[in-house]
Structure formats: C-alpha cells, structure tokens
Amino acid sequence: MKKYIYLIALLIGIVSLSYTNLSNKKQSGDKSASAYYSEQYRPQFHFSPQKGWMNDPNGMVYYAGEYHLFYQYYPDSTVWGPMHWGHAVSKDLIHWEHLPIALYPDSIGYIFSGSAVVDWKNTTGFGSVENPPLVAIFTYHNMDREKSGKIDYENQGIAYSLDKGRTWNKYQNNPVLHNPGVKDFRDPKVLWHEGTQKWNLILSAHDRVKIYSSGNLKDWQPESEFGSDAGAHGGVWECPDLFPLKVNAGGQTKWVMIVNMNPGGPNGGSGTQYFVGDYDGHEFTAASKETSWLDYGRDNYAGVTWSDVPKEDGRRLFLGWMSNWNYATVVPTDVWRSAMTVPRELKLEEIDGKFLVKSEPVHELNQLQDQASKITFAEEQISGEKKLDTKDINLNQCELVLNLETGKSTADSLCLILENGSGEAVKIGYSNKSKQFFVDRTKSGNMNFSDRFSGIDYAPYSIGKQVQLHLFIDAASIEIFVDEGKLVMTDLFFSSENFNALKIFSSGGDVLLQKVEIVGLKRIW
C-alpha cells in the first residue's frame, strides 16, 4: 500500500514539475513549447501579447538591465475596450518575458497611452536616490464624462514602482495634470531636460502639442505649444515624442519631434510624422514646418522611443504598433490582435540642407539569423522575370538584403514578388518614372475583413547609383528599409498559406543585381 502511495506522489510530482517547466518556458521563450505562439498569422520574432487586444507601445524605459515595454491592452477581448497597461521586459530587445498587467482602469478612467522614466534624483520622493522610482505618466480617459458630452475627459495621472516595474502604485492625488478644456488631451511623453534641470512633458492637444515643465513630476507648468500651423492635419494628433539626436552622428545636436496622427497618414489612416529643430527646455522651433513621414507603409503607428537608454549605448530606440486604426480591430487573428514593429534605431542625417530621420532595424536582430540557412546569390543581370531558388527557407520568417546597381540598369521599374501556391502575392517595387517605391497588397490573400485594407502604398524616393533593400518578413508583416532606413515601409498582409516563391521582375529594361542575401530567422517564443 505504502508503495502505491509513493508511486502516486511521485507521479503527481512529475506532472506538476513538467507543468511548471512548460509555463516557465512560455515565460522565457524556450522553443520546445512549440504549440505556443504558432497560431495562423502569429508573428514569430515580433512582440505580440499572449492573448487579447493590444495597441500603442507605452512607458518604454530601460532600467537595471531591462527594456520595459508596456502597451495599451484589453485582456478580455480581441477588440479595443477598457484600457490597461500590459507589460513585458527584455534584456536584448528581441526576447520578451510577459509580466502581469501593470496598470488597471479605475474610477478616474481607462489608462490610455503614456510614458515612463527613471526618477534618478528621486524628485517625486516616491523612492530614494539609492532605489530610484520608475514613474509612469499616462492619460486617464473618463468614459462617463465623455458620454455626458463634457470635453475635459482626458487628464494625466502618474504611478510608480520601487521593484523594477513588478508592482505599481498609483499616486493618491491623481490626476496631476488637469485638462485645460481641450477635447483630445493625451499621450504624455516625459523627458529630463539637462539644460533647465527640469522634467518636460509633451502631449497631444487635438491639432497641436503642448509642452509643460515640472520639478517633481507632480506639479506641471505650461511652457509652450507647437503645431497648429505646421505639418499634416488630416486627423487628430496623438502620441508625440521629443528627443535630441546628433546630426550625421557628429557634434551638432538637433531635436526631433514625433507626432502620430490618425487619420491622414501618407497612404491613408494612421501615420507618423516628424519635425526637426531646436529645443531649449521651453519651446520647440522647427527648421521646417513641412511634414516628414517616418514610415510610408500603413502599419506603423503610435511609435515613440525608449527613455533612459544608457549613455554608453547612446542609441535612440523606437518601437511602433504594427497596425492601422482603419482596420486594426477586424484583422483576421483569433487569440490576440496586433504586434509591434521590430525595434528600430533612429538616426538623424542632414542631406542637402534637409533633415532626415532614418530608422534602422536594431543590430540585436542579427542573433536570430539561422546561419546554416543563409543563401547568397552572386551578381546577375536580370531582364524580365527571375525566380530565386530560396531552398527550404521559410519566406514568411526571413530577412532579405538586396543590393542593386542602378547606374548599370535600364529598367523602368523593378519588382520583388513574394508568391504562394494560391496565386496570392505581395509586391514590393520601385518605379523609375514616378520615382516611387511601392508595396502592393491588392492580391495578398484575405482582405474581405475591411474595404480599407487592400491597395498599394506609395513612397516618394530618388534612388542613387546603388540602392539597398533590407526586408524583414514575419508571418503576416513586411518591413522594408531602403538605403539603411532612409525610407521605411511597414505593411501587413494575410495570405491564406505561406509564400513559396520569391521572384524578381524588371520591366522596360534590365537590372543589375549586385547581391542578394536571404536568411531564415529563428523564432523568439
């Protein structure tokens, strides 16, 4: 009898051990939990929530060896609802560990977008200099006030954590920044301004941004506003950001202001514009009031940058939400909805007196390359159609680099085609006549969920003697970086089966392909 009891106890032990193991694996991203994160259209190397609805990245801050990513989250449905802040951390920007929800809606309102900082000097008094608090600054959106016709239903609140973001306390005197009577008054991004030794807060106020300052993150004074007479105004301004960048990685510093806007993006719906100029801790002066777009695809929105990246690193790291409000709530995924873009490094260049913010995929992505799968195609002149033998690389989970010698090419246009056996395709190309890149997803598969999804996205671009295309494809998304991120296009597609052919097509002449390199990417989950 005793023997049996032992045996049963042993069995229970084994079962519970392997269960704990599996859930640990899920947390840490071990590959052996292979059913995990393998639903149709599930991104394999992009961040997406385990289940439920996600939109904007929030509160991105680096602290104690971890990149924090919070996000607009509704755990109970795959469509938008009462907003929480979901939470994940990563040591390398690539592999993510899911953590419990950081902020829940409360009697003041839903928890809309915002930012987080390390309060190194303990200006809030929430912690100590030895254990500085992480402080989150977010918008409280009060649905009851909105429904009752009031316009001041968005106010800013703060919360803090003293245990590396694991638990959060909302400040008892919230909200800290009251609505001055503006209908859209949200998405605060906070930065520490060295020159004035003050916190600055930039937030969107309908058709402009407003800037505030504070010594303690609790009491805010208005400083200035920007934008009512600048940039694109096809929609509401949302999710701004403001940060310094070195020009051409050299000595001169300029300030970049990011302003997301919905609708009115360059190819319809949501889009991200930016301005470059000077900032003194009080006021932003743009070098040009014209809009520049950070991404010409339709699926990169609400992106902002990480706070407190160590000086030794020095990068300005960006992440966007890979969707578009035109159809975000109806894209054909079941368990979860939406993913983030790959993390990108922003760099500032001055070219012919004009400022350009480049986005490059972060170098940490290189670790995902499955070197054994890598194929390099030698230089070749192409006329008409050429199918590349991509062997057994999964074209829905790969990275592709394509160098073209345009000086020795005569073609009117060039097209890269990803195709599957069902006749579905995504086409990426360049037209010499119109001087435009394009992404054509008109035949990309499932599109009947929205009549605003299909279509061709265009991006103006003058190519030089050589051009490089760098692509990341992951399940249902494609990110295209042209010439080290001088032009970026991020687009979703929902093909009914994986791509199995990669073709290059030149029309009206030939094209010299200098080098094509393709490599499979490992999954992160």
Task: Please say which residue, 54 or 395, places its beta carbon nearer to ligand FRU.
Answer: 54
Long-range Cβ pairs for the range 419-423 (8 Å, 24+): 419/499, 419/500, 419/501, 419/502, 419/503, 420/445, 420/495, 420/496, 420/497, 420/498, 420/499, 420/500, 420/501, 421/497, 421/500, 422/495, 422/496, 422/497
**Least distance (Å) between residue 83 CB and ligand FRU:** 5
372: helix, strand or coil: helix
**Least distance (Å) between residue 69 CB and ligand FRU:** 15
**Least distance (Å) between residue 367 CB and ligand FRU:** 30
In sequence order, the 6+-apart residues with CB closer than 8 A to the CB of 261 are: 232, 233, 234, 235, 236, 237, 238, 270, 271, 272, 273
Tell me if 241 contacts ligand FRU by CB under 6 A: no
Task: Please say which residue, 17 or 143, places its beta carbon nearer to ligand FRU.
Answer: 143
Residues from 442 through 471 that contact ligand FRU (CB under 6 A): none
**Least distance (Å) between residue 236 CB and ligand FRU:** 8
Return the structure tokens found at 362. 């972060």
In DSSP terms, 351 is beta-bridged to 354
Tell me if 113 contacts ligand FRU by CB under 6 A: yes
Q: How many residues bind ligand FRU (CB under 6 A)?
A: 12
- Closest by alpha carbon to 296, among 257, 330, 324? 324
**Least distance (Å) between residue 6 CB and ligand FRU:** 54
Task: Please say which residue, 83 or 202, places its beta carbon nearer to ligand FRU.
Answer: 83
**Least distance (Å) between residue 58 CB and ligand FRU:** 8
Tell me if 187 contacts ligand FRU by CB under 6 A: yes
- Closest by alpha carbon to 115, among 134, 94, 143? 134
Q: State in Å, rounded, how far the first CA of the chain is from the last one.
A: 44
Angle, alpha carbons 341-334-299 (nearest 5°): 25
- In the list 238, 241, 299, 479, the residue contacting ligand FRU (rule: CB under 6 A) is 238
Tell me if 111 contacts ligand FRU by CB under 6 A: no
- In the list 33, 46, 48, 55, the residue contacting ligand FRU (rule: CB under 6 A) is 55
Per-residue buried b or exposed e for 110-126, using 16+ beta carbons within 10 Å of the residue's own CB? bbbbbbbbbbeeebbeb
| Cα gap 271→263, rounded to integer Å | 7
C-alpha distances in angstroms, 101 versus 73, 210, 339, 517? 9, 29, 17, 40
Task: Please say which residue, 284 or 301, places its beta carbon nearer to ligand FRU.
Answer: 301
| Cα gap 83→71, rounded to integer Å | 9
Site string for ligand FRU, 59-98 (x = CB under 6 A): -------------x----------x---------------
Tell me if 239 contacts ligand FRU by CB under 6 A: yes
Tell me if 139 contacts ligand FRU by CB under 6 A: yes
- In the list 47, 53, 54, 56, the residue contacting ligand FRU (rule: CB under 6 A) is 56
Task: Please say which residue, 139 or 300, places its beta carbon nearer to ligand FRU.
Answer: 139
Tell me if 202 contacts ligand FRU by CB under 6 A: no
| Cα gap 339→43, rounded to integer Å | 7
- Closest by alpha carbon to 477, among 109, 85, 45? 45
Tell me if 319 contacts ligand FRU by CB under 6 A: no
Tell me if 413 contacts ligand FRU by CB under 6 A: no
Residues recognised as catalytic: 56
Task: Please say which residue, 113 or 396, places its beta carbon nearer to ligand FRU.
Answer: 113
Name the E strands within 129-282: 134-141, 154-161, 169-170, 185-193, 198-205, 208-214, 221-226, 236-246, 253-262, 271-279
Task: Please say which residue, 189 or 427, places its beta carbon nearer to ligand FRU.
Answer: 189
In sequence order, the 6+-apart residues with CB closer than 8 A to the CB of 80 are: 53, 55, 74, 328, 329
Task: Please say which residue, 110 or 355, places its beta carbon nearer to ligand FRU.
Answer: 110
Return the structure tokens found at 442. 């008109």
**Least distance (Å) between residue 154 CB and ligand FRU:** 8
Residues from 276 through 305 that contact ligand FRU (CB under 6 A): 302
**Least distance (Å) between residue 368 CB and ligand FRU:** 28
Which positions lie near ligand FRU, rule CB under 6 A? 55-56, 72, 83, 112-113, 139, 186-187, 238-239, 302
